[in-house]
Structures are given as structure tokens and as C-alpha cells.
């Protein structure tokens, strides 16, 4: 399981993050890139780089044969998938290992099991992890699904078994709408995942999204690295994440963490993974949602409060090393918040922004995981998230203040970002008092969000800043 060169089958900020982890261990890196990413920072910073195809993901970052060819050509001994793209594709993991390479992540069987929401929930139940009431049977006939819907009662969700990110999901509040909801969820699931299987589960309004980070080695040890709250979401996509999850009863928090470890142990999980829950404060109950068999976008907040480098440990575990810390050695310090920075216009229904970044001056003193720099071109081919801003303070209020200050100090031009919207979320009374939930944006901004118009003072300060920026040095 020894390797000295790692191919990173991804792009942008996560590719740079993995490069940093490799350098820490003295490992060389191989970047694979599309034609659109030829001049991207992650390509320039890699030890070796190979163009694997056109801008479309299907021609490059989802092209398994091209990725494996690049590994062979460059002599890479391992492949790190990052997140997104092929990171939770069991066939890709199996192909990597069949090519004689090390896949930096769990084995294909674990990915397959947790990739099916139906199988994952069955595994969770077997491990004694609570799941939402519902129907997850093999009989997918309309008659059986409608019968189970009647027994379950409204409100309930129809969800794609192979789904994620809200695709293949429908909320049913009236049983008369169930046939249409089932049909449309099936059609979307088939189109998005090639699998039309669905399941039903009770819908918990005003619920929170809590997750537990786990780390397992190939020697049977599984640790939890605490919990995170990712309840602030738009269309089931996370906006702001924080660790630890605030305002949880201690006994329930301990139970969530222990349940995550039990599940990971039960499936022989190896590498970093995340067990996700739905927490219903009204019932003081939590339920298993899914397990992500990869590094999460929000992993930096866990690193901030534990001091444990998750990418480093993914690499160590892939080399066959045993986890050196015991659970009692994992300590938690302070509170961390991560803000996803996206090239989009929230005031115009989150319209993606494209173009060239002509000014990129991020704040000092905070962690910024970014895939761009001055002069970077933002195209339309990939996800709009281009960076993550992470702050760490002694407590939650301090972390919020630090995050707001960092946003206020962030200077960017050429491409619009969602910074003003994220600032509005951070400073909203519901977020600060922890009243937000997974569908809470409607409550927070009933008429939708509109970017505040600058007043005369703001305009004067902006004009002065522009003048100073453009003035010759020493003028």
C-alpha cells in the first residue's frame, strides 16, 4: 500500500487542499485538468499535470479511462477523488484498485451500500441507529407505494434511493398529490442517477441537519471527530456550516456520536466519512439520513476545532497506517464557521456569474480554501462554489463576528459573489439565536432576499477605495 505520488481526480479548491496534505507528507501530486482549467492555480501548483479532455465534465473529470491513463503515464500510485465528480462512484473506486492503484477512500462495497439510501437505512437500523418512519421496501409498484403512503400519512417525502442534493425528492402534504409526486421523483431519479427506485419517509418540519465526522482505519479502529450543524440550506444545498452543532442536549449529542461510530464499525468503514442526521427539536429525536463516503466540503470546521488534518489522515490510512489518536485524545476547542463563496447573484434567483476576476483581495487572518486568484476565469461548466472562508473563535458569537468582519474585508471585482447574501444570513436574528432550520430561508426572508442599496457614505468610501487602488504607487 506504499505510494509516493498521488493523482488528484478533481479540480479547484479541493484539489489545492489535497495538494497541501500531500506536501505535508512529502508526497508528489499529479493534477488532471480539463481544457477550461489549463491556467487554474491547482494545475500550476502540482508536481505533474495532465490534460484529460474538454471542458464538459463528461469529457474530463468524469472520464474514468482518461484519469487512469494519466495515472499510468505519470507513475502515480494512488488516486484521491476529493468530493463531487467520481468521489462516491463505487465503479471508479473498483477500477482504480483493479488498475493496481490505491483508492484514497473507503472500499467499493462500502460506497455501494451507503450510496443506496434504502440499503444505508437498513444498515443503520441493524446497527441500532434511529431512522425516520417510512417505507423502504423492494416492491416499487404504484399500488404498494400508495398503500404505504396512506399508512404513513402526511406530510411525507418521496426520495430517490440513489439520490442526493435534493434531486429525486418530493414533499407530499396532500395524499391526492402522491401519485404525481411518486412519478416525478422516479423520473428525476432515473435521469439523474440511472436508478428510479424511491422510498417514503416522514417529513419533519423545522428540523436541523446535524452530522458526525468519523475516521476509520484498516485495523478496525473508528473515531468520531465531533459534530457539525449544516441546517442553513437552499434547495437542500448547504450554505453555512459550523462546528460543533450548538444547542444540542449533551446526552443526545453523545448518542449521535456513538451511533455514527457503531454504523461505521458495522460496515468496516475505512477513511474519512460523515454520518448525517435529521434532528427534530420538537420531539428531541434524531434520525439517520445518509452516510457520505468521502471528504465533505465542510471538513475544515472539524479540522479547526480538533486540530486534526483530515486529508493527512486519509493519506495515512490509505498507506495502511493505524490511527494513532485514541478517542479520548480527540479534544474540541472553540467554535468554527465555514461560508461557501459562490460566483452567483442571490438577488436574481442565484443566477451564476461568469467572467474574469480582476481583483481578488481576501481578508487576512482567516483560512480561505480557494480555487481562484487574480485573473482567474469563471466559466459555466462547473459548480459555482469557488472558495470557502473558515473562521475559528472561542465561542459561536465570536465566530459569527469574525466571519462578518472577514466578509466586510473581502475585496473582489470582475465577477459577482454571494458575499452580501452570506453576510445577511450570518447577521439574521434567526441564525444568531439558533432558530433557523433546513427549510428556514422562507421564514428568514419571506419576500425573498434583496441586496441592500448602498447609502451615500458607502458610495463615498467605495469611490475613495477605488481611487487609492488605481493611484500610482507613492502618489
Instruction: Give catalytic residues, as residue numbers.
Output: 294
Name the pairing type of β-strands 5-8 and 78-80. parallel
| Interacting residues of 202 by C-beta distance below 8 A, sequence separation 6+ | 132, 133, 134, 152, 155, 156, 157
What is the C-alpha to C-alpha distance for residues 71 and 30, in angstroms, rounded to an integer? 8
Provide the 3-class DSSP secondary structure of residue 214.
strand
HEC string for 159-200: EECCCCCCCCEEEECCHHHHHHHHHHHHHHHHHHHCCCCEEE
Which residue pairs, CB below 8 angstroms and at least 24 apart, start in 97-102?
99/68, 99/71, 99/72, 101/3, 101/7, 101/68, 101/71, 101/76, 101/77, 102/1, 102/3, 102/77, 102/78, 102/318, 102/319
What's the rounded Cα separation, in Å, for the pair 423 and 405?
Answer: 9
Judge if the upstream peptide bond of residue 277 is cis by omega within 30 degrees of 0: no
Please check whether residue 134 is in contact with residue 150, taking contact to mean a CB–CB distance below 8 angstroms.
Answer: no
Question: Among candidates 9, 220, 19, 215, which has minimal Cα distance to 96?
Answer: 9
Amino acid at each position: 500500500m506504499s505510494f509516493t505520488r498521488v493523482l488528484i481526480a478533481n479540480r479547484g479548491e479541493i484539489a489545492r487542499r489535497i495538494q497541501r496534505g500531500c506536501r505535508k507528507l512529502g508526497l508528489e501530486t499529479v493534477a488532471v485538468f480539463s481544457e477550461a482549467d489549463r491556467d487554474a492555480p491547482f494545475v500550476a501548483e502540482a508536481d505533474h499535470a495532465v490534460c484529460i479532455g474538454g471542458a464538459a465534465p463528461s469529457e474530463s473529470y468524469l472520464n474514468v479511462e482518461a484519469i487512469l491513463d494519466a495515472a499510468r503515464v505519470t507513475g502515480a500510485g494512488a488516486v484521491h477523488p476529493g468530493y463531487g465528480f467520481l468521489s462516491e462512484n463505487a465503479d471508479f473506486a473498483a477500477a482504480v484498485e483493479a488498475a493496481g492503484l490505491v483508492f484514497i477512500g473507503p472500499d467499493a462495497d462500502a460506497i455501494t451500500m451507503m450510496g443506496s439510501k434504502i440499503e444505508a437505512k437498513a444498515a443503520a437500523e441493524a446497527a441500532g441507529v434511529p431512522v425516520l418512519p417510512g417505507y423502504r421496501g423492494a416492491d416499487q409498484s404504484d399500488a404498494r407505494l400508495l398503500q404505504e403512503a396512506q399508512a404513513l400519512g402526511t406530510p411525507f417525502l418521496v426520495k430517490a434511493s440513489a439520490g442526493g442534493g435534493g434531486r429525486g425528492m418530493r414533499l407530499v402534504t396532500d395524499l391526492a398529490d402522491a401519485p404525481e409526486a411518486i412519478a416525478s421523483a422516479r423520473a428525476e431519479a432515473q435521469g439523474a442517477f440511472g436508478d428510479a427506485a424511491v422510498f417514503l419517509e416522514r417529513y419533519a418540519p423545522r428540523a436541523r441537519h446535524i452530522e458526525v465526522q468519523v475516521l476509520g482505519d484498516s485495523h478496525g479502529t473508528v473515531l468520531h471527530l465531533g459534530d457539525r450543524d449544516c441546517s442553513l440550506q437552499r434547495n437542500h444545498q448547504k450554505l453555512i456550516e459550523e462546528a460543533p452543532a450548538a444547542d444540542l442536549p449533551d446526552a443526545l449529542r453523545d448518542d449521535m456520536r456513538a451511533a455514527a461510530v457503531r454504523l461505521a464499525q458495522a460496515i468496516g468503514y475505512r477513511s474519512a466519512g460523515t454520518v448525517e442526521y435529521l434532528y427534530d427539536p420538537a420531539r428531541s429525536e434524531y434520525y439517520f439520513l445518509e452516510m457520505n463516503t468521502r471528504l465533505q466540503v465542510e471538513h475544515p470546521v472539524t479540522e479547526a476545532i480538533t486540530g486534526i488534518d483530515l486529508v493527512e489522515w486519509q493519506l495515512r490510512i490509505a498507506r495502511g497506517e493505524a490511527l494513532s489518536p485514541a478517542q479520548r485524545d480527540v479534544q474540541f476547542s472553540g467554535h468554527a464557521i465555514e461560508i461557501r463563496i459562490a460566483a452567483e447573484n442571490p438577488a436574481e434567483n442565484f443566477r451564476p456569474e461568469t467572467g474574469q476576476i480582476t481583483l481578488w483581495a481576501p481578508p487576512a487572518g482567516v483560512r480561505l480554501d480557494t480555487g481562484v486568484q487574480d485573473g482567474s476565469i469563471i466559466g459555466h461548466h462547473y459548480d459555482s462554489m469557488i472558495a470557502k472562508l473558515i473562521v475559528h473563535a472561542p465561542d459561536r458569537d465570536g465566530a459569527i463576528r469574525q466571519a462578518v468582519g472577514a466578509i466586510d474585508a473581502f475585496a473582489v471585482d470582475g465577477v459577482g459573489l454571494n458575499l452580501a447574501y452570506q453576510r445577511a444570513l450570518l447577521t439574521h436574528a434567526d441564525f444568531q439565536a439558533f432558530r433557523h432550520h433546513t427549510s428556514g430561508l422562507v421564514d428568514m426572508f419571506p419576500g425573498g432576499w434583496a441586496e441592500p442599496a448602498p447609502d451615500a457614505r458607502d458610495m463615498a468610501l467605495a469611490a475613495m477605495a477605488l481611487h487609492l487602488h488605481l493611484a500610482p504607487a507613492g502618489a
